[in-house]
Structure 1
Amino acid sequence: MDGLIVVFLILSLLFFGLSLRSFYQFLVYKQDLKKDVKQQTYLFQLLEKGSSKKERLLSKLFQYADDFSHIGQRINFSSENHDVRKWLMQSGYPYKLNVERLQGLKIFMAIIGLILGGISLMLQLPFSELTVIIYPLLGYAGVIYWIKSKAKNRQEELSFQLPDFLDTMSVTLQAGVGLDQALRDIVPYFDGPVREEFGRFIQELDVGVPRREAYQMLLSRNESKEFQILIKSLLQGERLGIPISQTFRQQAEEMRKLKKESIKEKAAKASPKVTLITTFIVLPSSLILIGGLMVMNMFSQNQNIFQLFQN
């Protein structure tokens, strides 16, 4: 009997010690998990884009467009769902818009245009009969034009920011830092599309998305020529084993050349516009001014122009 008690006590102490050991391992694992989550959350907070009062106000206002989303998806002239999704991806989903909300927004703006046209008709304003038709069409088409311009401007800004980003990445990679860690260190210090796109790329890698698939997502979300060249070069370099730092350096040089050529092209296109303005605005105005002074001089018997105004 005494032996059974001793065995029971020994087993009890053994299991108690094992439970203490397991509890200690749990506490250590919990602390490590907290540190990891805190680090990831801190990075996400750095990458998260802040919103101004204007953006928050417009986001709340655009929520009323959800009631018209079904109508907008049926009346999809020049705004098919796949086109709208493409524009939203390229524009970075401004004001928390999605496909359904944007489809409803164009109907919402068309109704506002109809109300304004009806008010102008009741007040009998000039051309009020036409405004009842024109204002709803402008509201409908204005939303489509607005999201297209947002997408275009964002892609242009992405191309403009890339050379500086690539120079910084090249220097960091040449110092021996890995690609993922370099992105984590550098991306939070940039603003705009570069920060949003590469920040999302980092988050996709953290949740287990394969690197090649994450690269393909970057390509599908953006149509910037320079950005497409960069991502395709990274894919090719990963497949062929080319050093990443060399890829970033070469792409930075190429993009600066493309940027200079783009500036020269815009300057060349501006010259005919200046000539057009000079020909049709400045020259006729100068001729009218000179002719007017000559006529005034003829009727004033060659008097001084200041004496003419004194008389």
Structure 2
Amino acid sequence: MTTMEALQLMLTDMLGPNGPMIAAGVMIAFFGLAFIPMILSRRDDPIEKLKRQQAGGSKRDGKKEQLRRKSANAKLDKYKAFLEPQNAEELSSVRLKLMQAGYPSRDAVRAFHLAQMVLGIGGLVLGVTYFILVKQTDASTTKDMLMWTLGPGAAGYMLPKYWVTRRVESRKEEITAGFPDSLDMMLVCVEAGQSLDQSIVRVASELRASYPALSQEFQIVAHEMKAGKDKAQVLGDMGERCGVQDVSSFVTVLIQSATFGTSIADALRVYAGEMRDKRVMRAEEAANKLPTKMTLATMMLTVPPLLIILVSPSIIGITSFGAQ
């Protein structure tokens, strides 16, 4: 008898048939109640406390300060020690992935981990409830209990990560599809006499309906340039946020053009032509893959009916001959 079986037998003898589930519920409740006081008893950061004291005064001043600070949800900021990775590299990695998924808010990392925690606990509670009310029988084993209780909790915990990953992939595909058109529009604007900043603003407004993700990136670049941020750094941040090789190469071309003093219009013309050719090559590659992908479906849908048509008369004839 293994340790788990002995423990399950002991709990069954002490608490009845639902002994293991009662023990699991008590442990979850105990850890939850132990976790809440730790959060509530967390001390404020002295620097944050000093900032609040310096920003104190009348209620009107407090409201103005709150309006100026758009960083945040105060409730999430209170629990940031539990909703943010303590490792700087891990925090930077999660923040970059969320930015690539289209969530540039400063509270995105906290909201992501909060969603993981809430959905994980919710899935665990639903799994326990479902197992007790529906699936539990006298023949249920410890393996069944763990599968039906821990499975929904793990699925709920992984759901935000799956959603963010899918968002990153779909956003990269959208940016890749719309980038050649944006370069053509930017080339037209530059050749018409507009500066690079003005052309970026115009392209962002024109792409809002067809490629909203790419339009959002150009809008961020335009706002950062208006705020006085260094142009090379702004473009580099755009390439990092998009996570697309074409955009990173385009940023490198613009930075080199500005560094060496060459014409931006010439650089855009050459690079826009390369992007158009690359889009045609991607379309041809997808078209060449199509026959291979259709082979299996074609065989599954055509071979069985063909065999039925060809072999059925022979089978019927043999059966009739054997019956005679």
Unaligned runs of 5+ in 2: 1-73
Contact 1:65-1:105 at 8 Å conserved across structures: no
Task: Report what 1:122 is aligned to.
Answer: 132
Task: Identify which of 221, 236, 239 aligns with 1:219.
Answer: 239
Task: Report what 1:167 is aligned to.
Answer: 184
Alignment of 1:4-153 (within 5 A): 71=82, 73=84, 80-93=90-103, 98-125=108-135, 129=145, 130-153=147-170
Shift in Å at residue 197 of structure 1?
A: 1.0
Contact 2:116-2:158 at 8 Å conserved across structures: yes
Task: Please give the alpha-carbon distance, in whole angstroms, between the structure 2 residues aligned to 1:291 and 1:150.
Answer: 50
Task: Report what 1:30 is aligned to.
Answer: none
Task: Report what 1:28 is aligned to.
Answer: none
Deviations 1:130-180 (A, max 9, x none): 232221111222211210111121111111111111111111211222212
Task: Please give the alpha-carbon distance, in whole angstroms, between the structure 1 residues aligned to 2:76 and 2:195.
Answer: 45
Contact 1:72-1:104 at 8 Å conserved across structures: yes
Task: Report what 1:272 is aligned to.
Answer: 292
Contact 1:69-1:105 at 8 Å conserved across structures: no
Structure 1 pair 135–281 and aligned structure 2 pair: CA distance change class (3 A)? farther
Shift in Å at residue 253 of structure 1?
A: 1.3
Task: Please give the alpha-carbon distance, in whole angstroms, between the structure 1 residues aligned to 2:318 and 2:79.
Answer: 69
Task: Please give the alpha-carbon distance, in whole angstroms, between the structure 2 residues aligned to 1:277 and 1:68.
Answer: 53
Relative contact order, higher structure (CA 8 A, sep 6+): 1
Shift in Å at residue 95 of structure 1?
A: 9.0
Structure 1 pair 206–74 and aligned structure 2 pair: CA distance change class (3 A)? closer
Which moved further from structure 2: 162-171 or 115-124? 115-124
Q: Which amino acid aligns with 2:257?
A: G
Structure 1 pair 300–276 and aligned structure 2 pair: CA distance change class (3 A)? same
Deviations 1:197-254 (A, max 9, x none): 1111111111111111212211221211111111111011111222112222222211
Q: Which amino acid aligns with 1:244?
A: I
Task: Please give the alpha-carbon distance, in whole angstroms, between the structure 1 residues aligned to 2:85 and 2:249.
Answer: 37
Task: Please give the alpha-carbon distance, in whole angstroms, between the structure 2 residues aligned to 1:292 and 1:134.
Answer: 48
Task: Please give the alpha-carbon distance, in whole angstroms, between the structure 1 residues aligned to 2:227 and 2:190.
Answer: 24
Contact 1:113-1:135 at 8 Å conserved across structures: yes
Structure 1 pair 268–300 and aligned structure 2 pair: CA distance change class (3 A)? same
Deviations 1:258-303 (A, max 9, x none): 11222222333343332233345653464356545654565568xx
The question of 1:231 aligning with 2:251 is answered yes
Task: Report what 2:202 is aligned to.
Answer: 185
Name the Cα RMSD after superposition. 3.4
Task: Report what 2:33 is aligned to.
Answer: none
Deviations 1:107-126 (A, max 9, x none): 21112221231232123249
Q: Which amino acid aligns with 1:203?
A: H
Alignment of 1:248-287 (within 5 A): 248-279=268-299, 282-284=302-304, 286-287=306-307
Contact 2:240-2:248 at 8 Å conserved across structures: no
Contact 1:114-1:135 at 8 Å conserved across structures: yes
Deviations 1:74-106 (A, max 9, x none): 699xx9423211111111107996111101211
Give the aligned length.
Answer: 238
Shift in Å at residue 66 of structure 1?
A: 8.4
Task: Identify which of 238, 262, 265 aligns with 1:245.
Answer: 265
Between Structure 1 and Structure 2, whose CA radius of gyration is higher? 1
Which moved further from structure 2: 265-274 or 204-213? 265-274
SS at match of 1:123: helix
Task: Please give the alpha-carbon distance, in whole angstroms, between the structure 1 residues aligned to 2:301 and 2:76.
Answer: 45
Question: What TM-score, normalized by structure 2, do the two folds share?
Answer: 0.63
SS at match of 2:179: helix
